[in-house]
Amino acid sequence: MSTTPFGTRTQSVPTQTTSPMPYGRYRAFPPIDLPDRTWPAARITHAPRWLSTDLRDGNQALIDPMTPARKHKMFALLVKMGYKEIEVGFPSASQTDFDFVRQLVERDLIPDDVTISVLTQAREDLIERTAESLAGARAGTIHLYNAVAPLFRRVVFKVDRDECVNIATRGTELVMKYAEQHLGDVEFGYEYSPEIFTSAELDFSVEVCNAVMEVWQPGPGREIVLNLPATVEVATPNVYADQIEWFSRHVDHREHVAISLHPHNDRGTATAATELGLMAGADRVEGCLFGHGERTGNVDLVTLGMNLFSQGIDPKIDFSDIDEIRRTVEYCTGLPVHPRHPYAGDLVYTAFSGSHQDAIKKGLEDLDRKAAAAGVPVAELDWEAPYLPIDPHDVGRSYEAVIRVNSQSGKGGVAYIMKSEHQLELPRRLQIEFSRTVQTHTDGEGGEIGPERLWEIFSAEYLGRTTPLRLTEVVSASSAGGRDSITARVQDRGTERTVSGEGNGPVSSFVDALSGLGYHVRVLDYAEHALSAGGDALAAAYVECEVGQGDNSVVAWGVATDANIVTASLKAVISAVDRAIG
């Protein structure tokens, strides 16, 4: 064995061994012949046109599709954020989708600067039904698609190339026919997707799209959207960029074509594929908030928009309250956003490593010094801080979550001790909030905080407050006809009062009851679990509440334990109110 000049043995290079997996069943995607590609030298300098397909592609992939009420909530969020093109459903495939589109139109819920889009296959009865759904809208787009890849032509639809082209052109003729019959007063647009574009022959995709345009006749004031989906992601992102640039060079009427991207995330590179596709000349992007959609999902519109923002480019979408966006999407979809999700996850602005925390702390202190010297707020300085690609304040987050100190560094941290020693499974944002309280005590007391002292701090902060409110008794709780009602006795600043309320659950009913005393409370998050097993088991409830209204509102967590989970939940609401006000 040889040695280095320092007296240590030379390290051999580790070698991976052959895996037992049947990799020989698969073939690499062939490269695109584009030796003079120009996209690698291009830069993204502005936001593309965005289309949200949360209400169509995102919704159809949910285990439990959205109810009408949740669809309306999602639509309102998308409008509020600034999306101007929204695909609202597949009305010919679902009566629920048809009814939702009609509600948007008939209730005048679509702003004048928003265009809705609806998807259809190339069958005549479906196209007519689709056109009927848009009747009366100010502006609407029919989006027609058919699969063009060889595997789908051969196995799924059993058509040759000519028959595939005929499906697309005949479908376009029918769209124009029924648009003329039903949509004479609508600002009408047309979108065509050669589905499975990334697995199709490029020359054939161009042939199909050119044939469609021969029917549609694009020109000045008569755009066509050609949507080029990575329906299934099959290659590296640079290949998608090559496909987009090749298509853009060869398609007819390019000046009247909006080339649209619709990447899925099967290989985990949808974001990169989209960004390279924009560099290759695409004009428009379709995706979903937080990457919802079939299988691994559509490209994530939040990550794409915030990536632009982090490069000093206006995304033309408002992400300034990222937590509210996340809460709404989680409510509408019934699916959680991962704690590590870019820009929006609970942990993305948090460092557990001591060296990371130290670097971030020093970076923030440096910004404070620069701001003081310049006589301006930190928010007006160019952003530059270790480990933080953006200022968390710009998306409604706080620095406290970023620089919280783990008083049990190396021993699992505050959250670990609370769970292992006290059986409390604190939600992520409560961990952040409580860590700030712990930090206050470590700064004042010094030294290590053990499990007993940690419990004392927690109890005093969350379990021991009785001002201004204290729950004395749950008089009655009942449920009928889908509505819950509750009557309880509380002490309000020392005066006992009986309050009653209604809602869609005990907590909602209790919040309604408290409004009668002048307490404005909105529940943002809720969690519960058993602390022990058996007939005398205790339950723990955690409630995150916004207490107050407007600029005077305060967000605080409340915690309570009780043998009765309903009582624990109500006590937790009281705890949040007392902490916010007291």
Check: CB of residue 133 under 8 Å from CB of residue 188: no
CB 32: neighbour CB atoms within 10 A?
A: 18
Q: Strands 115-120 and 139-147: what pairing?
A: parallel
Q: Provide the greatest CA pair distance for the chain.
A: 87
Burial of 188 (0-12, 13-18, 19+ CB in 10 A): buried
Q: Where are the alpha helices (DSSP H) in 383-505?
A: 399-402, 413-422, 428-445, 451-458
Strand 521-530 vs strand 284-287: parallel, antiparallel, or unpaired?
unpaired
Q: At what angle do helices 301-310 and 270-279 cross, to 10 degrees?
A: 60
264 marked ligand binding residue: yes
| Helix 95-106 × helix 68-81 angle, to 10° | 50
φ/ψ of residue 197, rounded to 5:
-50, -45
Distance CA 323, CA 465 (A): 27
Name which of 149, 134, 145 is nearest 189 in CA terms: 134
- One-letter amino acid for residue 286 of the chain: E
The sign of the CA dihedral 549, 554, 555, 561 is negative
Report yes or no: 54 and 74 within 8 Å, Cβ to Cβ: yes
Say how many Å lie between the first and final Cα of the chain, rounded: 70
Among candidate residues 277, 122, 115, 303, the one with its CA nearest the CA of residue 195: 122
Residue 525, marked binder: no
Dihedral in degrees, nearest 10, Cα atoms 545, 548, 551, 552: -110
Give the rounded distance of the alpha carbon of 34 from its chain centre: 35
Minimal CA–CA distance to 122: which of 174, 60, 57?
174
Write the CA distances from 239 to 31, 194, 236, 252, 285, integer angstroms: 7, 17, 6, 22, 17
262 is in an annotated binding site: yes
Number of H helices and E strands in the chain, helices first, is 18, 14
| Cβ-based neighbours of 493, under 8 Å, separated by 6 or more | 467, 468
Distance from C-alpha of 507 to C-alpha of 509, rounded to nearest angstrom: 5
Question: Two tokens at 138?
Answer: 């100010």
The candidate with the shortest Cα–Cα distance to 568, out of 580, 577, 559, is: 559
**Cβ atoms within 10 Å of 497's Cβ, excluding its own:** 15
Q: What is the DSSP letter of 198?
A: G
Residue 518: count of CB within 10 angstroms of its CB: 7
CB 300 within 8 A of CB 306: no
SS3 state at 533: coil
Would you state the structure tokens that stand for residue 312, as one six-digit string? 């000093």
Other Cβ atoms within 10 Å of 549 Cβ, number:
9
**Binding residue positions for Mg(2+):** 57, 262, 264, 298
